[in-house]
Structure 1
C-alpha cells in the first residue's frame, strides 16, 4: 500500500471530519470512500463514452438501425414479461 499526501484547507478538513462523524466512520475512511466513489464514477463515464463510440462506429459502418416503432413495441412487450424477438434492422433513411 502506498501513501499519498494531500493538502486540505482547514474548512474542508472540518467538513470532512463532521461528515465522517455523522456517517459513523473515520475521516480517513470517509476520504477513501469518496475517492473510490469518484474513481468509479469516472470509470463508468469512460465505459459509457467508449460504448457510445463503438455503437456510433457500428452505425456508420453499416447504416443499420431499429425503427423506433418496432423497438418501442419490443420494449413494451418485454416490460409485460414477454420474450419477443428483436426487431429487424433497417437501413437508415429508407422506408420499407
Structure 2
C-alpha cells in the first residue's frame, strides 16, 4: 500500500541530514519513526485499556491492594525472601 506524507521543508531537511549522517535513506528514517510511534501508541492504548478494566473491576468488587502492600511485595523481588503477590481484599 503506497502512502504519501506532506512534510514541511524544515522537517524534510532534518530527515535528509539525519539520513546522510546515519548512512540510511530518508525513507528508512521515516519508516522507523512511524513504526516506533505506532509501537509506543499501541502500548499506551493497551495500558490504558488494562487500567480501565482494572478500575471497572474495582468499582464492581471493591477488591484491591494498597500502595504499601504492593511496594512491600515488590521489595522482595530478587531476594532470597521473594514472596507471592498478596491477596486482594476489600
The TM-score with structure 2 as length reference comes to 0.86
Task: Give 1 or 2 for the bigger CA radius of gyration.
Answer: 1
Q: Tell me how large the CA RMSD over aligned residues is.
A: 1.6
More strand by share: 1
Where do residues 39-78 of structure 1 align in structure 2 (5 Å cutoff)? 39-78=38-77
1:27-83 deviation digits (Å, cap 9, x = unpaired): 010111111111111111110110110110111111011133332221111142533
Once residues 52 and 36 of structure 2 are traced to their aligned partners in structure 1, the CA distance between those partners, rounded to angstroms, is 24
Structure 1: give runs of 5+ residues left out of the alignment.
92-96
Count of residue pairs the alignment pairs up: 90
Counterpart Cα distance in 2 of 1:7 and 1:85: 52
More displaced, 68-77 or 47-56?
Answer: 68-77
Measured in 2, the distance between the counterparts of 1:12 and 1:85 equals 50
Matched with 1:94 is none
Aligned to 1:87: 86
Out of 4-13 and 19-28, give the one that drifted further. 4-13
Q: Give the gaps of 5 or more residues in structure 2.
A: none
- Is the aligned partner of 1:35 residue 2:34? yes
The question of whether the paired residues in 2 share the 8 Å contact of 1:67 and 1:90 is answered with: no
